[in-house]
Amino acid sequence: MSRIKELAEQAWDSLIDEMGDVVSEDGRLNWDFLHAYDQQFAELIIKECCLALNPMLRDMISRGQGVDMIARHFGVEE
């Protein structure tokens, strides 16, 4: 499983615990849940980018290498 899928599941699971299900008992979508999910997922991705770039800051690598590090970290091929 890719890291992006893992982060998506992590965001989803944490919000299910916090806010309940995405569909209410009457079958309506919980839009607050969906907006919170988008926010949580984006924050997790940014945190992962910071972790992936940590060696760049420490070792003073190039921006191009930093981009490659992020792509590898998330398992994204260009």
Domain ranges of the chain: 3-74
Does the model's pTM come out above 0.85? no
Top-confidence residue, 2 or 62: 2
Q: How confident is the model at residue 57 (pLDDT cuts 50, 70, 90)?
A: low
Q: How confident is the model at residue 32 (pLDDT cuts 50, 70, 90)?
A: confident
CB-based contact 74:48 (threshold 8 Å): yes
For residue 23, the cross-strand partners are: 29
Q: Does the pLDDT of residue 77 top 70, yes or no?
A: no
